[in-house]
Amino acid sequence: MAGTSPHSPLRLWWTRRPSAAGAAAMATGILSVGLHLAGYETLSRIALVLGCAAWLGLAAEFAVRLLRERARWVAEAGTPGALTAVAATTVLGTRFSALDRQPLAEALLALAALLWPVLIVFAVGHWTRRMPGGVFLACVATQGLAVLGATLAAAESAAWLAHTALVLFWLGLVLYGVAFYRFDPRQVLEGHGDQWIAGGALAISALAGARLIAADSARLYLWNDDDLGVLRAVTVALLVLGLAGYAVLLAAECLRPRPGYDVRRWATVFPMGMAAAATLSVSTALDVSWLRTPGEVLLWVSVAAWLAVGAGAVAEARAALRSRAPR
């Protein structure tokens, strides 16, 4: 059958997608997290199903390339987009933990932790000057591990996991600084979507800080007053910087519009959703109730962006399948 042939249009289109397409799973997963935080549980679970489907496709292609196309796997592992595999895994794990599926969340954390050192070494080893926004995925992947680690530490009262997450939190901030040095600022006006990761990396760092604060309890007693004060101050600063970056990137989009679908637009949706999730999480962790309103506004903006990019992705896939179909 044509639909199952290894040379079918569907198979050809799927295998030619860039590694950056994994941002679709990241974007959908964080949308599910944000909808859960805002109390829209049914919509959150629908987004979770879609995110899992995208992740499974990503995982299957990752495994096929590793086993059958080793040269291509090595080449793509050196690109920033490869780290979407780690980030997407941790985001979905965080959502499963909220559903009290701790064994599954633990398995996803273990998988992400195994992938992270390999992919981070490949990616950082290929960094050059004037990199696109994908360079910040090193920070995003590291902070994703911190978020999931802190979430599981709170769920299972595991102090060692919280302390490990704290180390990853600070390491993620160091990686952000190095990535910022490598980032090409012209991408703010010229990028095709992944420049938004510069702001999304700050937002996921703020989310990690909020989860570390929330993980503390009388039973664990993770942080003393000084530690907690530093965590609070850094988390608030990261959220402010992340929202400021959001405003700058949005203004740049208005000044120089870049319409039309590009697979890198999924890397726009993810930071938008992450800004919403971080705002809602900081609101809860620091007991700042007025932050919920801007958090929900940002959430619905990210939902609209997801729908727009999703429609573009479907249209692009249909056009590609038609062009490659046998005549």
Q: Which long-range contacts (CB under 8 A, 24 or more apart) does 214-223 make?
A: 214/150, 214/154, 214/281, 214/284, 214/285, 215/150, 215/151, 215/153, 215/154, 215/162, 215/165, 216/162, 217/154, 217/157, 219/157, 220/153, 220/157, 220/159, 220/162, 222/153, 222/159, 222/162, 222/163
CB contact set of 226 (below 8 Å; sequence gap of 6+): none
pLDDT of the residue at 317: 73
Residue 56: which of 24, 30, 78 has the closest Cα? Answer: 24
Q: How many C-beta atoms surround the C-beta of residue 223 within 10 A?
A: 19
In whole angstroms, give the CA distance from residue 193 to residue 261.
10
Q: CA 109: distance to chain centroid?
A: 14
pLDDT of the residue at 101: 96
Averaged over successive runs of 10 residues, the pLDDT of the chain (327 residues) comes to 47 50 88 96 96 88 73 69 90 96 96 93 86 93 97 92 95 96 93 92 97 86 87 96 96 89 89 96 95 96 95 81 61
pLDDT of the residue at 323: 67
Domain ranges of the chain: 17-308
In whole angstroms, give the CA distance from residue 118 to residue 128.
19
Two tokens at 126? Answer: 């290929």
**Do the beta carbons of residue 97 and residue 155 sit within 8 Å?**
yes
In whole angstroms, give the CA distance from residue 157 to residue 134.
34
pLDDT of the residue at 12: 47
Tell me the fold of 17-308: Glycosyltransferase (1.50.10)
pLDDT of the residue at 247: 96
